Structure 1
């Protein structure tokens, strides 16, 4: 089984190392499907073990926080806030705990933008925003959250109409800012894992393997627009820090959720693309 290896373009600063840096050991990236069978694990964790958390430091843990939102089917199609939940959140939290020096909460949370506890979480995640609609209170809360140092990752939506819906909603949040395509040279693609391309992760049932060994995606948009190229766009603050990172025409969450279901998908998409990119994104969010 191929394992993730770490490459850095240049030695990281000491303070970055102190906060978060990856290591990979022998079997760290074994599929969960095999090694957890004989463990006493509650069913509600979907086979993911619960690790010990050091007492007295609950506020020092990274917690994966998923945003619950309203989804109106007439606004561009798409699924809802709970897509891939809870498996992707649990699996990704486990891999962060295993593969980084970051101390991770074994219990991801679901939170609304208007919850006063939102500011307890420096990283939040929105999935399938093709028909997402913010209310006015959520618009104000998200603007305040991002401008005060928070980081939003948006994932898993395909085609022009779904992107336009997300762009429209973000324009309500930031009327004076527009998303831009993030170049591959940006540090978010290289701060831990060296991404040689902008990774495209299809859903497991849309993953393609050609006779020549090439891999790709059969994903199609509902509006018939082109989905062959993954786009990673960002909205930044006045200092150039990424506040919103938009992963379009790709589904990193499925790479996390489905890692134990198919060996080929796991090796080609979870190990090579979904987890490295996810770890890079979290590393950026927690060090900027």
Structure 2
């Protein structure tokens, strides 16, 4: 309930800039041994970019929240990343489900290697849903920044095209899963991955689209 009230308070009629002052982006901490803490400079840089280009007033410091915590409901935008195993207990899966049904938004970013694990974990959260690739004309690609070709490719990995998958509940995209892309690496400090300026700009712009969509849906 708190999350629904919070989301309703993010906008007034005609307002285009999401987020009250001090709102934090949140990083999901999960069990299973995967490195949920990867990319420590990613969310601060994304918050700065959103503040500069979307007119938000996000706190530069992100929150870390566990899957089963009631604190989950304090954050409209939840980011999940890593390279390895992901395990949700029954209680954690139920808590994440309720968060997403209450209006929350989850961005899962495969940092290379978590795909087979995160799909199993999310099936526990929504056994009735399947990840489906989103069409290039989906709203997520048409926020402030237009991506006519869908999700931008940031890192090579297996040299496959970047794909954006989604879980949709009653017409609302509740989870966006970036695969073969590595948006979070593109959000990190320039000297961490030495991405090209174009790749880094595309990653931050797509991240801003995710934040804008999460706050406006």
Q: In which range does the TM-score fall when normalised by the shorter chain?
A: 0.7 to 0.9
Distance 1:82 1:61 in 2: 22
Q: Which runs of 5+ in 2 are unaligned?
A: 1-10
Q: 2:198 aligns with which of 240, 255, 268?
A: 268
Distance 2:141 2:76 in 1: 20
Alpha-carbon contact 1:88-1:257 (below 8 Å) kept: yes
Alpha-carbon contact 2:42-2:184 (below 8 Å) kept: yes
Deviations 1:225-249 (A, max 9, x none): xx511110000111x1110100011
Distance 2:97 2:27 in 1: 17
CA RMSD of the aligned region, Å? 2.3
| Distance change in 2, residues 1:16/1:158 (3 Å) | farther
Higher alpha-carbon Rg:
1
Structure 1 position 152, deviation (Å):
0.3
Structure 1 position 284, deviation (Å):
0.6
Structure 1 position 164, deviation (Å):
2.6
Verify: 1:191 aligned to 2:122, yes or no. no
Alpha-carbon contact 1:60-1:103 (below 8 Å) kept: yes
Structure 1 position 173, deviation (Å):
0.4
Alpha-carbon contact 1:260-1:266 (below 8 Å) kept: no
2:15 is paired with a residue of what secondary structure?
Answer: helix
What is the aligned residue count? Answer: 206
Q: 2:36 aligns with which of 81, 102, 106?
A: 81
Deviations 1:177-220 (A, max 9, x none): 11110011111101110113220111xxxxxxxxxxxxxx2x24
Structure 2 counterparts to residues 90-239 of structure 1, below 5 A: 90-128=44-82, 130-158=84-112, 162-197=114-149, 198-202=151-155, 217=156, 219-220=157-158, 227-238=159-170
Distance 2:119 2:142 in 1: 26
**Please, what TM-score do these two structures have when normalized by structure 2?**
0.86
**Please, what TM-score do these two structures have when normalized by structure 1?**
0.66
| Distance change in 2, residues 1:262/1:176 (3 Å) | closer
| Distance change in 2, residues 1:130/1:280 (3 Å) | same
Alpha-carbon contact 2:185-2:193 (below 8 Å) kept: no
Q: Which runs of 5+ in 1 are unaligned?
A: 1-13, 22-57, 73-78, 203-216, 221-226
Distance 2:192 2:21 in 1: 33
Structure 1 position 93, deviation (Å):
1.3
Q: 1:65 aligns with which of 26, 32, 40?
A: 26
